[in-house]
Amino acid sequence: MPDANAYIMNLMKSIIIACFVCCAMILSSCGQSTPTNNSNTTPMDTSNQKPNNPYYSHTDTTKLTLSDATWKSILPTELYEVSRHKDTERAFAGKLWNFEGIGTYYCAACGFPLFRSDAKFASTCGWPSFFEILHKNSVEYQPDNSYSMNRTEVLCGRCGGHLGHLFDDGPAPTHKRYCMNSVALDFEPDKKEVTVNEQQHDTITLGGGCYWCVEAVYEKLKGVISVESGFSGGTTKNPTYKEVCEGTTHHAEVVQIIFDNTITNLDEIFKVFFTVHNPTEVNRQGHDVGTQYRSVIFYRNHEQQVAALSIIKALNDAKVYDKPIVTAVEKFTEFYKAENYHQNYFENNKNEPYCRMVIQPKVEKFEKAFKDRIK
Ligand code: FE
């Protein structure tokens, strides 16, 4: 039976080839990734959400427990299959695997913030890959033993939607690889990326106690393009939050503000600064005690130095506070951005006790005093 044997041999060959192709596709999502130059920064429609999703929010942290029928009615089909039925999109097929825009990645099903662009790295696996999540609550994990593999599934921290898997072959500093489905993510560029005239921009670095508080206020001021939380004025290069808290780095918690000086100006920036923190307290703001909480203005040029000294003198002369202002006015040298989970802390953690009890009152005080100047 030579023909039957040949048929069986050909059939077996076909099965082996098919198995090989399938295995290669599955294993490619587990392999060590290497950088690629095939990147894409071109602005594009990176939104995967459906316009009629009433649960979509970047600020609502309430857990979502919706029925499968509801999810099916509010999500586009491909997103629904990935998010609710753990489907995997084809490698190299999504919009975001080689995308390099600067901004934030959100859950496409519910809008929950998941990753920052500076935690994304070039990966040849064909899916968008990140070495760090935005916030400890951004995602949840569960074991996944499908396909005879022991993997860790990554789910959205708010809606529980399937996002992808976590592997231990990412780059430093975490050596993690959050291998995500592109369709499960929405990308929104930072506002500063869409601002056109860089010449109208100015930068100032201010320390007014806990940077979560100061950042939350300036994010709301008209004319402010971006606010980053970090550290300045110390001796340690690239300090961590933990090191700064220990008080040995001499850094202050600061915010670095980029603003459009055709919409706001240094004078208004300083007025806000002296409204939302107590500049008469030495090395503390309320219950936050330590040199990292000192009141300080880091000036970049003569104009900023003169403006800072002038407003301090004016406030002291007018006896606005019952004690003299202790705010230091120092030359700016270096700004070190704090870890990602410190950025936009108030917006991302509104239900935390510190946010409700300490930050929210400062934001409300600002909103009352500058009600015509809120974005
Ligand atoms: Fe979600």
Is 179 a catalytic site residue?
Answer: yes
Residues within 5 Å of ion ligand 1 by Cβ? 107, 109-110, 112, 156, 158-159, 161
Q: How far apart are CA 360 and CA 366, in angstroms?
A: 10
Sequence-ordered list of residues with C-beta below 8 angstroms from that of 196, at least 6 positions apart, any chain: none
Is 23 a catalytic site residue?
Answer: no
Asked if 80 and 110 touch (Cβ cutoff 8 Å), the reply is: no
Q: What are 326-341's pLDDT values in tens digits?
A: 999 999 999 999 999 8
Q: How far apart are CA 215 and CA 237, in angstroms?
A: 22
pTM for the model stands at: 0.50
Instruction: Single out the catalytic residue among 210, 213, 245, 355.
Output: 210
Among 185, 190, 194, CA closest to 105: 185
- The residues of the chain scoring below 50 in pLDDT are 1-38, 42-44, 193-194
Domain boundary among 157, 189, 221: 189
Q: Residue 331's domain is classified under what CATH number?
A: 3.30.1060.10
In this structure, the answer to whether residues 203 and 348 fall within a common structural domain is: yes
Q: How far apart are CA 313 and CA 319, in angstroms?
A: 10
Q: How many Å lie between the centroid of ligand 1 and the Cα of residue 137? A: 11
Q: How far apart are CA 330 and CA 298, in angstroms?
A: 5
Q: How many Å lie between the centroid of ligand 1 and the Cα of residue 66? A: 11
Interior/surface letters 235-262, b for 16+ CB within 10 angstroms, e for the rest:
eeeebebebbeeeebebbbbbbbbbbee
Range of the domain at 332: 191-373
In a domain? residue 14: no
Domain boundary among 136, 170, 189: 189
Among 308, 344, 326, CA closest to 218: 344
Beta bridge partners of 107: 185
Beta bridge partners of 256: 205, 228
Interior/surface letters 140-151, b for 16+ CB within 10 angstroms, e for the rest:
eeeebeeeeeeb
In a domain? residue 15: no
Q: What are 182-221's pLDDT values in tens digits?
A: 999 999 998 754 455 667 889 999 999 999 999 999 999 9
Q: How many Å lie between the centroid of ligand 1 and the Cα of residue 141? A: 13
Q: Residue 185's domain is classified under what CATH number?
A: 2.170.150.20
Q: How many Å lie between the centroid of ligand 1 and the Cα of residue 130? A: 17
In a domain? residue 264: yes
